[in-house]
């Protein structure tokens, strides 16, 4: 059975990147003129140089947010991060 296609929600130009203890908060305006915020969390510590480089790269990024229809995919409720198994999903274009 084929998985349902992802439906585009927004394309966002990142305007601001704020570092946090375990990641970053990216803010920007979407093509629909709404303001968006995306938080990225890492399950491993980042040294100062890595944090700086990631912050610079993310500040130059654009985000495309898509999702599957909620009616077609039963998503589990968001769990507390402490009870979540570490994820190791890496993708590249």
Q: What is the pLDDT of residues 43-70, one digit of tens each?
A: 999 999 999 999 999 999 999 999 988 7
22 within a domain of the structure (yes/no) = yes
Residue 45 lies in a domain: yes
**Which range is least confidently modeled, 17-21, 57-61, 71-75?**
71-75
Residue 35 lies in a domain: yes
33 phi-psi bin (left φ>0, alpha ψ -120 to 50, beta other): left
pTM across the whole model:
0.66
Give how many domains the chain has, as a whole number.
Answer: 1
């Amino acid at each position: 059975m084929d998985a349902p296609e992802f439906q585009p929600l927004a394309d966002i130009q990142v305007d601001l990147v704020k570092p946090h203890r375990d990641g970053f908060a990216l803010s920007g305006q979407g093509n629909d003129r709404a303001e968006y915020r995306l938080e990225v969390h890492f399950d491993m510590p980042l040294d100062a140089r890595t944090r700086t480089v990631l912050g610079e790269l993310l500040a130059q990024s654009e985000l495309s947010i898509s999702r599957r229809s909620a009616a077609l995919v039963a998503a589990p409720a968001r769990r507390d991060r402490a009870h979540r198994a570490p994820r190791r999903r890496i993708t590249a274009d």
